[in-house]
């Protein structure tokens, strides 16, 4: 089994709803480093949501600014 972008999105959503910050960050890194999958706007938005839900607003803002999607309103809306 080789996960694709959709599989990782589902995993990140599950981590987000479960408040699993460490695991979510690990899966996000694994997606890039182990599977060569470039995260898209949905992956970043999910991770921003995860960080925001757990009170890590500064980390979420830094992620938005470094994501390449900082001009997309949905990224900022994820913090509300």
pLDDT of residue 13: 97
pLDDT of residue 54: 93
pLDDT of residue 8: 98
- Its pTM stands at 0.92
pLDDT of residue 80: 83
What is the block-wise mean pLDDT of the chain (80 residues), using blocks of 10 residues? Answer: 95 96 97 96 96 95 95 92
Contacts by 17-24, CB closer than 8 A, 24 or more apart: 19/50, 19/53, 19/54, 20/50, 21/50, 21/51, 21/54, 21/56, 24/50
């Amino acid at each position: 089994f080789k996960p694709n972008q959709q599989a990782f999105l589902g995993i990140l959503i599950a981590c987000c709803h479960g408040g699993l910050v460490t695991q979510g960050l690990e899966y996000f890194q694994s997606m890039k480093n182990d599977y060569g999958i470039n995260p898209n706007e949905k992956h970043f938005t999910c991770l921003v949501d995860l960080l925001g839900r757990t009170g890590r607003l500064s980390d979420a803002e830094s992620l938005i600014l470094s994501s390449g999607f900082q001009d997309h309103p949905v990224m900022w809306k994820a913090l509300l």
